Amino acid sequence: MPLAMSTPITALTVLPARREKIELHTADGLTLVGELARPLVHPPVATLITLHPLPTHGGYMDSHVLRKAAWRLPALADVAVLRFNTRGTASPRGTSGGVFEGGVGEQYDVAAAIEYAEFHDLPRRWLVGWSFGTELALVHGADPSIEGAILLSPPLQHATAADLARWDAFGKPLKVLVPELDDYLRPAEARERFAAVRQAQVIGVDGAKHLWVGEAAVQRVLNEIVETVAPLSAPLPTVWDGMLGTDPTLEDVS
C-alpha cells in the first residue's frame, strides 16, 4: 500500500479512483473497450465522455490529456471520466471491434458511450473531444442527454456549416480551446468559424500546440474543463496530500 504524502502532481501521478474496465455495445453490433474512473468516496458531480484523437495518427483512449483527466479529476474534482477506444482502435486496455470509418460509423460509438453513461446514471454528462474527437462531438454529439461539449484543438476538417448550425440550434454550451500554435486551426480563424454557434466560447491558449505537450498545457486544459463542469473545484491543486492511486496500464503507456 503506498504511503500517504504531500507530493507535486506530475505527468505520471495517479490519484485514487474507482477504476472499472467497461465495454460499450454499438447499434451496429460492435463491442468497444474502455474504462470508467469514478471518485473513490463521493458520487460524481459530473461526467466526462471523452473522444480521442485520430487513431490512424496514434490517437486512442490513453492519449495523454484524456489519460491524465482520468488519473486526476475523480480525486481532485469528483468528476467521473469515461474513456474508450473507437472502432478498430487498440490500446493497452484492448482493441475495439470493427475498423476505422473516418468518422462515419463512429456515430454509433458516440451514441453507445452516451447511452452507457445514461444507463449507469452518471450525472451531468459532457462530451470532451480532442482533435478528431472534436469532429465526432460536433457531427454526432448533439444528444439531448448531454450538458454540452468541450473541444480541444478542433481542426474543423470534417464538421460542416450544417453541423455548426445544428449545434447553434441545439443551444447547449460549447467551449472551444484553440492552441495559439495549432497545426490546423488557430484562434482567429476559430473565432470566425465558430461564430455560427452563438453559445460557443472560443478560448485561445497562448503558447500551446495541437498536442498540448507539457504539464503547463495539461493543467490549463484540465482547469478549463473543471471550470465548466465542476466550478467549485477550480482551480485545481498542483499538490496532492494523501494516498496515491494505481492504474493497471501505467507500465504500458507513456
Task: Name the amino acid, one letter, at 89.
Answer: T
What pLDDT does 248 receive? 67
pLDDT at 206 over 80: yes
Residue owning grid cell 471550470: 227
Look up residue 104 and give its three cell numbers.
Answer: 462515419
What is the per-residue pLDDT across 156-203, written as a single tens digit (0 to 9) for each? 999 999 999 999 999 999 999 999 999 999 999 999 999 999 999 999
- CATH number for the domain harbouring residue 47: 3.40.50.1820
Domain extent at residue 161: 5-252
Q: What number is the average pLDDT over the span 46-55?
A: 98
Show Cβ contacts of residue 159 under 8 Å, excluding neighbours closer than 6 positions.
134, 135, 138, 139
* Total residue count of the chain as it appears in this document: 254
Residue 217, classed as helix, strand or coil, is helix
What pLDDT does 254 receive? 33
Euclidean distance between CA atoms 93 and 245, whole angstroms: 18
pLDDT at 252 over 50: no
Residue owning grid cell 507539457: 214
Euclidean distance between CA atoms 5 and 240, whole angstroms: 8
What is the per-residue pLDDT across 113-151, written as a single tens digit (0 to 9) for each? 999 999 999 999 999 999 999 999 999 999 999 999 999
What is the per-residue pLDDT across 61-114, written as a single tens digit (0 to 9) for each? 999 999 999 999 999 999 999 999 999 999 999 999 999 999 999 999 999 999
Number of domains in the chain: 1
Note the Cα 25 to chain centre separation in Å: 19
This prediction has a pTM of 0.95
Contacts within 8 Å (CB) and 24+ apart, 232-240: 233/76, 233/77, 233/78, 233/79, 234/77, 236/72, 236/76, 236/77, 237/9, 237/76, 238/8, 238/9, 239/6, 239/7, 239/8, 239/9, 240/6, 240/7, 240/8, 240/9, 240/13, 240/15, 240/75, 240/76
pLDDT at 60 over 90: yes
What pLDDT does 249 receive? 61
